[in-house]
A = this chain, B = another copy of it.
Amino acid sequence: MKLSDPLDSEPQDAQIFDDLISNLRQTFFNYIKSGQESTDLTLDYLSPSQISDLVSLNPTDAGSGQNGIIFLISQLLYRPPKLLVEISFCNNFYLLIGIVQDVINILKYSPNTWNPGFMHKLYSSTSAIGVIGELVTAIMNSNGHIYLASPFASTVEILLSKKLGVLFGYDESKCGGLTCPGGSYSNNLALLVARNYYFPYAPLYGFALTDSEKILFDFKQPVIFTSNQSHYSIEKSVMMLGLGKRNIVFVKSGVSGVMDSADLEFKVSAAISEGKKPFFVNATAGTTVLGQFDPIKPISEICQKYDMWLHVDASLGGSLVFSKSQNYKEKLDGSGSANSITFNPHKLLGVPLQCSYLLVRDGLSGVRKQVSTNANYLYHKDDEIPSPQCTAESNSNKNYFGNNAECWDIGDATIGCGRKPDSLKMWLSWRYFGYDGFATRVDNSLKSASTFSKLINSLPDFYLFRTPTSNIVCFYYVPPSQKNHCFSGSQSLNGTSSRIDSLPIVHDESRLDFPEIWGTFTKSICKDINSRGKVLIDFASINLSKSSGELVRIPEFFRIPFNSPFFSISHLHVIIDQISSSALSLYP
């Protein structure tokens, strides 16, 4: 007996899901295939008002099947070749076909990240295995906050975090980690843990102390160090945690965009002599715009000397630990001494968004200690639920359980509650690709960036201003008709001076003064290219610091990350053709 009129006479989700898969399977196949073969646009751009016509939200025509009927008629009149639907009859036929239509609209008017031409952001498509991982997670509707709600996912998260930690130089028996909903949140959690560790009164008292409390707690203004090339989430986290952005000290990054460790030590000393408490240094492994790596080893020594928390934001560059090339791998040297590391497999490893790890050298218990609020309605003590076996056993995996017994309910070590178990898709990807498969993915992307930068450097009108350190290539394009806009220092744009082995910007800060109009070229060309949708590319401007400390604005340049492992030479030429043909139409 049913309690009331249910949604259907019986729950039919198994059948509905299977019917939808049956009707969408060909669409998904064509979508992925046409993306990877670059036969379609990367983006068929529509404005919000155009898309709003496709987004019906009228409650009265939803759930009625009416859209399915309209769709069938439109299919009779016009069948989109690449998203053809093999319609099979089923229960709720019109309703399901309406959903199929909606799915086709979503796919059609969103960027196809399977297309290597999607070079707009620091991620590309995922992989077939990544999608399956996400699908399994969704089918289970799994939640990674407590062990009992996700025994498999929690175990994977604990074990995989340790394996990842080892890649960065951590001790497997001590380290730990967890996933956060994106790199910003991982950075944020790292700063919070460090703040509460160094300022143990902060959770209860906050920072608005009375005079007597200031004396009692030996209050010193907390100071955070990061380079001016670091990701904005560091600044945002400082703002969020009530530390005050004035307490961020931006360390000089020099013309190369790499943190100057001598300047760091100088500024730490200065802060101490002003009676402040430097407690947190963020080193970036793979800066957002240039893809540069701060020197972790010397920074780590300074952190030890002055008792500060070292966090390495390796959201982007962390994937280089998988590289087979020592040149790339060693950019992470020293990360094993960092207190915490952010690493996003959703970038170069192609695990579906979101997948970000916060790895911690000294284990998850320390994180939990700093952020738990002991919500006992959810996080029961171990003796109240079927508990993890905490006995030390011979299998090395099993030894972990004793050390971290209190941390199986991972949610308590976060600032959230319910949480998507993002480790499952990472684990399935790890199982499919293996270490070597990840290495190939990463090295293919890096090689593509390197090949593209050489290509750029060999062409007239393109001005590569930096040999790429990782997977991001930054360059200008000056339309031939605008050749009079040279450096303010009036260097020639052609000939040997733009050869890759004599890039001026790395060595010669007097040549940082790019004409502002170069930024205008970049922005106009980018906008034009993106509206065509064949490829999607992006630009950025930055400020670099001269040795005098003076900040120089670098006008907008093309900043193209190579994330896909599937680039061919012809893809690279498409980008170049798009830029030069767009420039020709804009600046004839």
Q: Within A379-399, which residues are at the interface with B (CB < 8 Å)?
A: 380, 384-389, 391, 393, 395, 397-398
Interface flag for A21 (CB, 8 Å): yes
Interface flag for A365 (CB, 8 Å): no
Closest to A100 in B: B132
Whether B123 lies near A418 (C-beta < 8 A) is yes
Chain A 245-264, CB-CB to B under 8 Å as 1, else 0, gives 11100000000000000000
Cross-chain contact of A206 among B56, B64, B138, B247 (Cβ < 8 A): B247
Interface flag for A5 (CB, 8 Å): yes
Cross-chain contact of A371 among B236, B289, B559 (Cβ < 8 A): B236
Which of A102, A150, A221, A447: most chain B Cβ within 10 A?
A: A102
Interface flag for A154 (CB, 8 Å): yes
Cross-chain contact of A440 among B5, B125, B142, B523 (Cβ < 8 A): B5
Q: Would you give the shortest CB distance from A556 to chain B, in whole angstroms?
A: 8
Cross-chain contact of A353 among B67, B142, B353 (Cβ < 8 A): B142
Closest to A528 in B: B386
Which residues on B sit within 8 Å (CB–CB) of A420?
Answer: 181, 353-354, 420
Closest to A568 in B: B2
Interface flag for A216 (CB, 8 Å): no
Number of A residues near B (Cβ < 8 Å) is 201
Which residues on B sit within 8 Å (CB–CB) of A203?
Answer: 239, 244-245
Q: Would you give the shortest CB distance from A235 to chain B, in whole angstroms?
A: 5
Which of A30, A208, A430, A443: most chain B Cβ within 10 A?
A: A208
Chain A 288-299, CB-CB to B under 8 Å as 1, else 0, gives 110000000000
Pick out which of these stretches binds chain B: A11-19, A73-81, A457-465, A509-517.
A11-19
Interface flag for A202 (CB, 8 Å): yes
Pairs A–B under 8 Å by Cβ, sample size 22: A4-B447, A6-B440, A14-B32, A17-B128, A21-B21, A43-B148, A48-B408, A52-B159, A52-B398, A54-B152, A56-B431, A57-B430, A63-B435, A103-B136, A107-B139, A126-B138, A138-B138, A181-B182, A183-B417, A211-B211, A236-B415, A385-B526
Which residues on B sit within 8 Å (CB–CB) of A431?
Answer: 56, 62-63, 67, 98-99, 102
The CA-CA distance from A208 to B111 in the complex, in Å, is 45
Which residues on B sit within 8 Å (CB–CB) of A64?
Answer: 434
Closest to A33 in B: B14
Indicate whether A566 sits within 8 Å of B107 (C-beta atoms), given known contacts A48-B151, A140-B112.
no
Interface flag for A205 (CB, 8 Å): yes
Q: Within A81-135, which residues are at the interface with B (CB < 8 Å)?
A: 95, 98-99, 102-103, 105-107, 109-114, 120-132, 134-135
Which residues on B sit within 8 Å (CB–CB) of A495?
Answer: none
Indicate whether A377 sits within 8 Å of B182 (C-beta atoms), given known contacts A143-B353, A204-B244, A434-B64.
no
Whether B106 lies near A136 (C-beta < 8 A) is yes
Which residues on B sit within 8 Å (CB–CB) of A441?
Answer: 7
Whether B385 lies near A527 (C-beta < 8 A) is yes
Whether A148 lies near B536 (C-beta < 8 A) is yes
Interface flag for A228 (CB, 8 Å): no
Indicate whether A99 sits within 8 Å of B13 (C-beta atoms), given known contacts A107-B140, A203-B239, A389-B47.
no
Interface flag for A302 (CB, 8 Å): no
Indicate whether A52 sits within 8 Å of B395 (C-beta atoms), given known contacts A21-B21, A417-B231.
yes
The CA-CA distance from A64 to B437 in the complex, in Å, is 10
Q: Within A406-442, which residues are at the interface with B (CB < 8 Å)?
A: 408, 415-420, 424, 427-428, 430-437, 440-441
Whether B353 lies near A418 (C-beta < 8 A) is yes
The CA-CA distance from A520 to B274 in the complex, in Å, is 56
Q: Would you give the shortest CB distance from A528 to chain B, in whole angstroms?
A: 9
The CA-CA distance from A185 to B365 in the complex, in Å, is 22
The CA-CA distance from A269 to B3 in the complex, in Å, is 48
Interface flag for A574 (CB, 8 Å): no
Q: Would you give the shortest CB distance from A527 to chain B, in whole angstroms?
A: 6
Closest to A109 in B: B152
Chain A 232-245, CB-CB to B under 8 Å as 1, else 0, gives 11011101111111
Whether B57 lies near A163 (C-beta < 8 A) is yes
Whether A151 lies near B45 (C-beta < 8 A) is yes
Whether A140 lies near B181 (C-beta < 8 A) is no
Q: Would you give the shortest CB distance from A498 to chain B, in whole angstroms?
A: 23
18 additional A-B pairs beyond A49-B397, A235-B373, beta carbons within 8 Å, are: A3-B444, A3-B569, A7-B565, A17-B128, A20-B132, A48-B388, A49-B395, A54-B152, A67-B431, A123-B418, A125-B141, A148-B536, A181-B420, A206-B207, A207-B207, A231-B417, A233-B416, A386-B531
The CA-CA distance from A483 to B54 in the complex, in Å, is 63
Q: Would you give the shortest CB distance from A389 to chain B, in whole angstroms?
A: 4
Chain A 454-480, CB-CB to B under 8 Å as 1, else 0, gives 000000000000000000000000000
Whether B159 lies near A565 (C-beta < 8 A) is no
Closest to A241 in B: B242
